[in-house]
Amino acid sequence: MTEPDATPRTLRRDIVFAFALALACYLAWFIRDVLVLLYVSALFAVVLTPLVRAISDLHIGRQQPFKGSAIFLLLVVTAGAFTIFGFLALPPVLKDMEEFSRDLPTRLPSMLDKLKSIPMTQQLNTADINSRLQDFAGKAAPYLLFSLKDWAGNLFDIIMGFILTIYFILEGDHAYRWFLSFFPPEKRARLDRTLQRAEVRMGKWLLGQGSLMLILGVASTIVYLSLHVRYAYALGVMTGLLNIIPVLGAAICIGLALMVAAIDSWGSTLGVAIFYLIYLQVENSYLTPRIMRNRVNLPGLAILVALVIGSALAGILGAMVSVPTAVLVAELLDEYLVHKEPA
């Protein structure tokens, strides 16, 4: 008696599900910026959780810090590092910027005359360039004023991402169990094992990437100081931090260091170029295979594709989390889509 009603009920259920899925996709696209912020914060929490656990396992006398104390200690160390960086690196940069802005009106004509002495630039109209630069200097202040809204929005996103990361670290287990509850019990254990393996690989990526960042930052700072490159501490720290972005971070570091070294002498520029040529060879042939490839187990093509997609979707943040995201996707594909040969 109930068979004639089964097909209409199934069809009605499918129609309702299709409309609900379309509405969910529309809402997800409408709040895509918030979803990206949540995802990036959750991913940073997953990556940083092993570090917080390692700090929690330390024994200070007879006391063992809990997770909240470990996060606070990590924040104190980070704030102290940024404070030391500010005292060492920012004063020379600010001093040179102040001197440059003060001496620009008097030095600009001589700079344009030197530019005109170059054979390919003899046809340039120096008076027109001078007037354009002065107009730009006059409009710089209003432009900065109007861009304060964008800077405030970006600062708010950074602060919210920071707070969300802390909450995900503190309450991530509850959120993870709640996420698994959406799946049937017979499939929940398999997904749990897959995500646990992905978390282990992400932790290995953090350890390997941190090692590469530390090695490059220390080595580049020593080279900058020995070559008397200005802003050596700032460039060294920036070089180490930007190395978290695969390929693109190294390119930005090389270009910036060469430009700063070229301000003083071509000898320093040549020294920086030689250092990067040697370091890239050492990193690609020795450091990366031993530190990263054996830990993360991702081919170079997958890393490049993840970097391009992450940069297109979320800019610098997307590029920073491109490798952990690729690790997560690779683990899910390997578990659910790749057909393995029987043992």
At residue 170, the pLDDT reads 84
Beta bridge partners of 60: 63
Structural domain span for residue 241? 183-343
More confident residue, 298 or 255: 255
Residue 255 lies in a domain: yes
At residue 116, the pLDDT reads 57
Residue 216 lies in a domain: yes
The number of residues in the chain equals: 343
Share of the chain above pLDDT 90, in %: 1
- Number of helices (H), then strands (E), in the chain: 13, 0
- What is the distance between the alpha carbons of residues 100 and 114, in angstroms, rounded to a whole number? 17
Interval 225-242: pLDDT, tens: 898 888 888 888 888 888
Distances (CA, A) of 328 to 9, 103, 257, 332, 333: 38, 53, 34, 6, 9
Tally of structural domains, the chain: 1
Residue 286 lies in a domain: yes
Interval 141-188: pLDDT, tens: 555 555 555 666 677 777 888 888 888 888 888 888 888 888 888 888
Range with the poorest average pLDDT among 49-58, 110-119, 282-291? 110-119
Is 282 within 8 Å of 289 (Cβ atoms)? no
Is 230 within 8 Å of 97 (Cβ atoms)? no
At residue 323, the pLDDT reads 83
Residue 177 lies in a domain: no
Mean pLDDT of 283-289: 75
Mean pLDDT of 186-200: 88
Residue 138 lies in a domain: no
Beta bridge partners of 63: 60
Mean pLDDT of 25-39: 83
Range with the poorest average pLDDT among 84-98, 131-145, 160-174, 209-223? 131-145
Taking each helix axis as running N to C, give the angle between helix 322-336 and helix 32-56, from 0 to 180 degrees, rounded to the nearest 10: 90
